[in-house]
Structure 1
Amino acid sequence: MGLSWQQGPLSAGAIGHFLTPEPLPQRLLFAERLRRRMRVKFNDTWIADSEDVIVLHEPGRYPVAYFPREDIEQHALAASGKVTRHKDLGDTAWYTVRAGDRSTERAAWEFTALPEHAAGLQGRIAFAWRAMDAFYEEDERILGHAADPYHRIDIRNTSRTLEVRLGDTVVARSEHPVVLFESGFAPRWYVPRADIDETQLRPVEGQTFCPYKGLCDYFDIGDARRAAWSYGNAYREVDRIGDMVSFEPDQVEVTLDGKRLEPEPGQRVMPHGVDRGLDVDELRTR
């Protein structure tokens, strides 16, 4: 998302290009100070607390936060002896994270043989997001991954006509859908429930989680699996799409002003699971 995910400018599937006379390297990494206080909790203990976090944007990965060693609890890390190699940043040493009577192996890492151009990451530790109990900015829990300052969502009303069909069946028809523009993604069109034949929607088990929109529910339409989705309790920042429904154009026929929408390459979404120890009700009421 943002810089390095989906079709962002540093991703492998970027839809734009840099206006330079010479081609850029196939992989570009970008690091910058977060400029926010960030904390990490493990086994009910604050094991990291820093106002000097660096966020690394790496192609095809969510942003990762790196903490100065001096801002990490002294006894929270134990060297595991495991070393791997990062294709751009060299040797990577792995740590067991521990607090009280609990420990998790390979839950943190550090680059130990950085090239000179990446020296800003020297002496910094990153924590595996799912291995920790929680990450916070100030006193607010951050979900999914480190905050990406380059990720943006805009929602716009439109008077264009959107129609959804499965074969000869009209599933939805609306003259006032809303369109959601999200960094790195093609526009997504959402339809009010009043404009949908809800007898065609069959709820299915299994939800995914978006750090920016909340929990997502899915629907089958006829034989089309997970052909529609909805954020029934969308976060307040995007509550305009709350309980509206969007349709997958590679599963059903979606037309906008009579022109069929085609799925764009590189737009399949990698589902994001719920963070460790996070109650689903907490997600709904965030």
Structure 2
Amino acid sequence: MRIAPIMPGPGQESVWDYPRPPRVEESSDRIVVRLDGVTIVDTTDAIRVLETSHPPVYYLPRTAFIDGALEPAKGASFCEFKGAAKYLSVRGGTVVAEAAAWYYPTPSRGYESLRDRVAVYPSAVDDCEVAGERVTPQAGDFYGGWITSRVVGPFKGEPGTLGW
């Protein structure tokens, strides 16, 4: 299947220009995550992971989350690049979003900067923001990309895209 990438406009990035294996880069954009009306994280210390066909995933310092926001959850997965991931449930107010976040306890070589950082599925919380813009969650129940007006696709995760 031939993919027709959307041409980025001024100030935009195409996810089709992101590399494979993924690139890791620091971001000072203000990142805010809310659940049940509670701001569970508000930080300008983030790491973006950029991988071909995927919107960025933001990894946030564990220490930036409010006390009690992260709880161990069942489940694990493996990324051929980043290594073995474990899951966390996210608590905000009276709501617990089960397995709504993940982290790499011992990231693979080249991804060490992800240690002690947590990624949140934007579809599992009330909302996520990047630099004041509300994020659209990446489609699908596996991917955790954060779509903003800064990135263009098409994005993996929509029906019919698993073979990309």
Q: TM-score, length-normalised on structure 1?
A: 0.44
1:9 and 1:40 mapped to 2: Cα distance? 25
2:76 and 2:95 mapped to 1: Cα distance? 23
Greater C-alpha Rg = 1
1:104 aligns with 2:113: no
Aligned residue type for 1:109 = W
1:143 aligns with 2:135: yes
Answer whether contact 1:64 1:146 (CA < 8 A) is retained.
Answer: no
Aligned residue type for 2:98 = E
**1:270 deviation in Å?**
3.9
Work out which of the residue numbers 23, 30, 37 in structure 2 matches 1:37.
30
Work out which of the residue numbers 21, 28, 43 in structure 2 matches 1:28.
21
Q: TM-score, length-normalised on structure 2?
A: 0.73
1:108 and 1:114 mapped to 2: Cα distance? 16
**1:137 deviation in Å?**
3.7
**1:43 deviation in Å?**
0.5
Answer whether contact 1:77 1:96 (CA < 8 A) is retained.
Answer: yes
Aligned residues: 139
- Tell me which residue corresponds to 2:71: 78
| Structure 1 unaligned blocks of 5 or more | 11-26, 152-182, 186-266, 272-286
- Tell me which residue corresponds to 1:55: 48
Relative contact order, higher structure (CA 8 A, sep 6+): 2
> Structure 1 residues 143, 137: CA separation in 2 closer, same or farther (over 3 Å shift)?
closer
Aligned residue type for 2:134 = I
Q: What stretches of structure 1 move > 3 A for 4+ residues in a row? A: 146-149, 267-271
1:46 aligns with 2:28: no
SS at match of 2:111: helix
Q: Deviations over 1:48-106 (max 9, x none)?
A: 11111111112232111110111111201110132221121111010111122211111
Aligned residue type for 1:53 = A
| Structure 2 unaligned blocks of 5 or more | 1-5, 7-12, 137-145, 160-164
Q: Over the residues paired in the alignment, what is the CA RMSD in angstroms?
A: 2.7
Aligned residue type for 1:8 = D
1:87 and 1:106 mapped to 2: Cα distance? 20
Matches within 5 A, 1:222-233: none
> Structure 1 residues 60, 73: CA separation in 2 closer, same or farther (over 3 Å shift)?
same
> Structure 1 residues 66, 146: CA separation in 2 closer, same or farther (over 3 Å shift)?
farther
Answer whether contact 2:46 2:61 (CA < 8 A) is retained.
Answer: yes
2:156 and 2:76 mapped to 1: Cα distance? 32
1:126 aligns with 2:119: yes
Answer whether contact 1:63 1:147 (CA < 8 A) is retained.
Answer: no
1:28 and 1:40 mapped to 2: Cα distance? 27
- Tell me which residue corresponds to 2:17: 8
Answer whether contact 2:84 2:106 (CA < 8 A) is retained.
Answer: yes
SS at match of 1:81: strand
- Tell me which residue corresponds to 2:141: none
- Tell me which residue corresponds to 2:81: 88
Matches within 5 A, 1:157-196: none
Answer whether contact 2:53 2:156 (CA < 8 A) is retained.
Answer: no
> Structure 1 residues 61, 269: CA separation in 2 closer, same or farther (over 3 Å shift)?
closer
